[in-house]
Amino acid sequence: MSAKMPTFTFMVIMSTMLVAVSTNTLFVWVMLELNMLTFIPMMHTSNSTLETESSIKYLIPQSFGSGLFMAAMLFMPITTNSKILSTTALIMKLGGAPLHSWFPITMQSINLIPGFILTTWQKLAPLVLLTIPHLAHTPLIIFSAIMSALWGSMAGLSQTNLLKLMAFSSINHLSWLMMASTFNLTITLIYLMSYSLSALPVFLYMQTPKIMTYKTTLSPPLDNHTQLALIMSVLSLASLPPLAMFLNKLPIIALMTKTNKLLMPLSLLLLGATISLYFYLSLVIMLTLNFNSLHKPTYTKNSLALKPTMYTLSMMFQCSALFLWLSNPIS
């Protein structure tokens, strides 16, 4: 399977890009199916029972979402209510609430690299489709965004498994992504890129053996630079100023305040962000306690590969996010 992994990776990337540039709805559906079918082999890195279980948990809701999307295509010439079906299908593929139940249980048993791809790249194609007017039902998107913000933040409060915590963190940030998709594709893409670079150090850190719970975060990371990158990334995910995720929320907030009907949804999204701040700060506190630890964890060669480069890339982006938004004014 590992020999064919570059082929599957290429097909996942190309299918997503073709969805983004295509204007034919049937071709878009075919590329979504191809993307799903080529991502499943990427989930099997060690052929374990847990990976097989997670792939099945991923396949069933994705297939159901594809069926809904095909039904929406068939009803599109008949009624404008087909937008409700297509939006429901895309929300299910994204893992947005209340159609999110498959996402945390899949993330709990998935490997880290496929898990990172699932929380970032695999959201790109459905989000691009949500920006298309004849496929998107705005009230349903707003409802799902509110549910995702509240559920993602409250469910994350009781999590001690870092991988599952990142799953609920992804659901919480998905609410802002879906809300951004109702305004501007550029804002949506920049937010997704910012989330990807902010979450990357956390996923790299979890590649360290046994670093999966709050208790084991008391073990020190590789060096102080790594620890600083981790803390900044978690604070960015918490949307604290002046880090990247905070700056990415500002354009969305500004656009929502221009419409009186969106003031209540905005208040609920901000409430969800405030609740999620608790478990992010709890994780930061545990990371800062690393300085008092006297023992170091065991690192493998694979876990150390590319880490300094990735941490540096994430740190540079956190510092350059302000200039990125200054060069992309809100339209």
Question: Sorting pLDDT into bands at 50, 70 and 90, what band is 27?
Answer: very high
Q: Which residue has the higher pLDDT, 293 or 83?
A: 83
Tell me how far apart the alpha carbons of residues 91 and 219 are, in angstroms, rounded to a whole number.
38
Q: Domain spans of the chain?
A: 2-326
User: Using 50, 70 and 90 to split pLDDT, how confident is the model at 227?
Assistant: confident
- 312 pLDDT band (50/70/90 cuts)? low
**Range 304-327 average pLDDT:** 59
Tens digits of residue pLDDT in 172-196: 999 999 999 999 899 999 999 989 9
Contact 117, 8 (CB under 8 A): no
Nearest-5° Cα angle at 175, 93 to 52: 35
Checking if the pLDDT of 231 tops 90, the result is: no
d(CA 41, CA 29): 20
- Answer whether residue 245 shows pLDDT above 80: yes
> Residue 222 burial (CB < 10 Å; 0-12/13-18/19+)?
middle
| Greater model confidence, 34 or 108 | 34
Name which of 54, 60, 28 is nearest 41 in CA terms.
54
Tell which residue, 54, 173, 191, 184, has the closest CA to residue 112. 54
Cis omega before residue 242 (within 30°)? yes
Q: Report pLDDT digits (tens) over 116-134.
A: 999 999 999 999 999 998 8
pTM greater than 0.85 (yes/no): yes
List the one residue out of 138, 193, 159, 219 whose CA is nearest residue 318. Answer: 193
Q: Give the per-residue pLDDT at 326.
A: 57
